A and B are shown apart, each in its own frame.
Chain A
Amino acid sequence: MTVKRLLLLPIVVLGAGALGVLVTGKRATAPTSGARVAAETKTVRIPIQGMSCAVCAVNVKNALRSVEGVQEAEVDLERREGRVRYDASKVSLEQLVAAINQLGYKAGTPVPEGAR
């Protein structure tokens, strides 16, 4: 019985160690993956000329949201600008600007949020 326990002990210790490596390995890779996602998700503010009412704001918002890679889009009629959160690995700023210009409005140079 005692011999069996002695034999089992290293197995348990090795097993626990392997589990620990797996868990810490996952922990070690998780922040790397998160950092990658954070690095690719960007938020910009785009000045928009030519909007005159709530329908214009809806049109711009829908156009931006329909672009693949856009996670969130809001339009502020008073400031005449759009705020877009997007995945930079899937969509470029040029595509966002083009989506607005295609509607007949005029998009200005996008400014990264917090850059002002």
Chain B
Amino acid sequence: MTLDAFLERFASSLPQGSVWALLVAMVAGVVASGVCPCTVPVGLGVAGVVSGSAGKNRRGAFLIAVAFFAGIVANLTILGSLAGRLGAMLTESFGRYWALSMALVSFIAGIAAFWGPRLSTERLISLRGAGLAGTFLYGFVFSLGTSAAPLLLLVTVAAAQARAEYGFLLAVTFGIGRGLPFLLAGLFAALLMRFARLSSWAGAIRVASGCALMFVSFYYMRAFAALL
């Protein structure tokens, strides 16, 4: 099922501004994640960021997962208020620089995943703030390129209800749905690291996390090259 087909099916409820319509927008976000080819590689990347940044504090790993999710929701909140200008984010030149940014951010996150375990616990704790901000930025940049087109479609379908605050609310709920699969991937990785830390698998998982992020970087670098 494409997002278009899903929205066509529930199109009549969207302009009504009901709680049901907001639920439809949230499920539309999940569907948008399900059909987007970037979801699997970036989901792996998020799991990589979480396991790569997981220090001895398990709360830190959960916060990293939440930071990526918050980046997506924050981005969609802003995009929702810029609904009329979403087209600017759908041009080929924007897509080119977005793919390059994703490749660079993923590469940096990959380096951090490899480098993280070599740092001392005190150093890791001092870098937690930067890690959270970086992961938030990762979610924000990712969403910038992958959410404008589905959001534009959602807003177009719901356009009969011409209230700005309703469009904004739709964007936020859509963002929650869009970020949910990544939040789950991150939380699962955090849980996995909690058990892995006790075993000899921890090192192998960290190497796999770094490799996953390098793969994401390569994935977007290839897209950038194709757009040149």
| Chain A residues in the interface with B (C-beta under 8 A) | 49-59, 61-62, 77-78, 80, 104-106
Instruction: List the 5 shortest-distance A-B pairs measured between CB atoms, nearest first.
Output: A54-B95, A50-B2, A78-B90, A49-B4, A53-B146
Q: How near does chain A come to B217, taking the closest CB pair, in angstroms?
A: 14
Q: Which residues of chain A are near B150, meaning CB under 8 Å?
A: 52
Among B2, B87, B95, B227, the residue within 8 A (CB) of A49 is: B2
Distance between Cα atoms of A80 and B147 in the complex (Å)? 14
Give the segment of B17-25, B32-40, B121-129 that binds chain A: B32-40
Interface size on B, residues (CB 8 A): 30
| Chain B residues in the interface with A (C-beta under 8 A) | 2-5, 32, 35-38, 87, 90-92, 94-96, 98-99, 145-147, 149-150, 152-153, 219-220, 223, 226-227
B4 and A53 contact, CB distance less than 8 A? no
Among B2, B32, B96, the residue within 8 A (CB) of A54 is: B96
Q: Which residues of chain A are near B95, meaning CB under 8 Å?
A: 53-54, 57-58, 77
| CB nearest neighbor in B for A55 | B223
B99 and A57 contact, CB distance less than 8 A? no
A78 and B4 contact, CB distance less than 8 A? no
Q: How near does chain A come to B172, taking the closest CB pair, in angstroms?
A: 18
Distance between Cα atoms of A51 and B4 in the complex (Å)? 9
B36 and A56 contact, CB distance less than 8 A? yes
Known: A49-B4, A49-B5, A78-B87. A55 touches B38 (CB 8 A): yes
Among B91, B152, B227, the residue within 8 A (CB) of A58 is: B227
Q: How near does chain B come to A106, taking the closest CB pair, in angstroms?
A: 5
A62 and B91 contact, CB distance less than 8 A? no
| CB nearest neighbor in A for B95 | A54
